[in-house]
Amino acid sequence: MKFYDSIIIGAGAAGLMCAATAGQRGRKVLLVDHAKSVGDKIRISGGGRCNFTNLHTTQKNFLSQNPHFCVSALKRFTQHDFINLVKKHQIAFHEKTLGQLFCDISSKQIIEMLLAECADGNVEIMLETKVINISPCHPALVAGSIGSESNYNFELKIDDELITCKSLVIATGGLSIPKMGATSFGYDIARKFGLKIIETLPALVPLTLDEKNLEQTKNLSGVSVNGIATCGKINFREGILFTHFGLSGPAILQISSYWKKGEEISINLAPDINVFEKLQEEKRLKPKQELQSFLGQFLPKSLANYLAQKAGHNGNLADLSNLKIKEIANSVNAWSFIPKGTEGFAKAEVTIGGIDTDEISSKNFEAKSVPNLFFIGEVLDVTGWLGGFNFQWAWASGKAAGENI
């Protein structure tokens, strides 16, 4: 039987950071994953260049039933701390928009950096390895093998082998992108040890439209605008993309994390234009102008044609009533609809919900009711905005746990 100070299940962003931190503290660490390689989500992120953090990270960029839970870890390991690590490994990077930082060359550089940090800590890594069972360690199994039989707290059956450890860290992520191996493993372990789970839903995910709206917008697939998506009191101004199934783009992905089934979404397709006032002015100055020509001044041609057709007006601006002008303006500045749903976990970048943070210490990420059992990263009920925030949460939570296992 093998013995470790710490076993970390999940070789993603949080698990790698945790393993490296603990290993460099002199702990004997085993990092386990069922995948063929480490950091698969890191590899595909940011179009292959990894949006590894955000310059503007604060607690306001995260959703949780307990919005204060993330504060401690984010303050102790900030975006600037991770940037310093990137600089230490001489990885060139750049800011894209809104504080988002990307590798100049490849996301693989971040994975190589984390593996180098793990190597510095003599971390043992086992891939394509299935954890079959986890249970509290029975003292008789280790009696006589170690100095104190109470030192080893968990027994894991990994493939056909039994392994024990003093501390166990679950870093298995959420349910998003199952084709990359996402499972409910972390939640299952939490339930096994009596921890509460907040309902899990897909987040940062495209929204779908009902058949009526899809039929109307079918020719707009691929059209994008810089607009504002609003749900309740929350809004995001970024790109909005029409798809074969509905709407996507950064603004839509962001608002999806706040949207609940049956709620209305409002889209401003031209946030810099007061269409009602502009249309009234153009009617006065250019009465013979056609509606699609007017809309085409600030919208893609196909979208302008669609909105003109939707308005049912083929004549000149001079023929528009004030009531019709208001209707057209609302279709641009305040297009409201109720999404049919989302494209689900298959297309979601992250999972919202997860292990209730009231069950977990915000200082070291240990379960309050189960000593030496830790949960980090996306498996917890902490979800970041689009733009590098979820990676920063992975680094910060992994670092905090790694310093305490």
Q: What is the pLDDT of residues 316-368, one digit of tens each?
A: 999 999 999 999 999 999 999 999 999 999 999 999 999 999 999 999 999 99
Same-domain status, 48 and 22:
yes
Same-domain status, 370 and 338:
no
CATH number at residue 177: 3.50.50.60
CATH number at residue 232: 2.40.30.10
* pLDDT at residue 151, rounded to an integer: 61
Is residue 249 packed enough to be buried (19+ CB in 10 Å), middle (13-18) or exposed (0-12)? buried
Same-domain status, 145 and 212:
no
Does residue 142 contact residue 152 with C-beta atoms inside 8 Å? Answer: yes
- Digit-coded pLDDT (tens) for 354-389: 999 999 999 999 999 999 999 999 999 999 999 999
Q: Among all chains, which residue has been given the structure tokens 């001044």?
A: 297
* pLDDT at residue 144, rounded to an integer: 39
Domain range holding 226? 207-342
Q: What are phi and psi of 290, to 5 degrees?
A: -80, 150
Sequence-ordered alpha helix ranges (H) in 184-321: 185-192, 211-217, 250-256, 275-285, 291-295, 301-311
Same-domain status, 155 and 6:
yes
Same-domain status, 290 and 246:
yes
Token code pair at residue 241: 């993309």
* pLDDT at residue 142, rounded to an integer: 42
Domain count within the chain: 2
Same-domain status, 332 and 359:
no
Same-domain status, 309 and 336:
yes
* pLDDT at residue 138, rounded to an integer: 56
* pLDDT at residue 143, rounded to an integer: 40
Same-domain status, 77 and 45:
yes
CA torsion 302→306→312→316, rounded to 10°? -30
Same-domain status, 212 and 263:
yes
Same-domain status, 172 and 259:
no
Instruction: Judge whether residue 139 has pLDDT over 90.
Output: no
In the listed set 342, 367, 383, which residue is the last one of a domain according to the structure? 342
Instruction: Judge whether residue 62 has pLDDT over 60.
Output: yes
- Digit-coded pLDDT (tens) for 264-322: 999 999 999 999 999 999 999 999 999 999 999 999 999 999 999 999 887 899 999 99
CA distance 87 to 91: 6
What is the pTM for the complete model shown? Answer: 0.94
Mean pLDDT of the chain: 95
In the listed set 293, 324, 342, which residue is the last one of a domain according to the structure? 342
State percent of the chain over pLDDT 90.
93
Same-domain status, 366 and 257:
no
Same-domain status, 256 and 156:
no
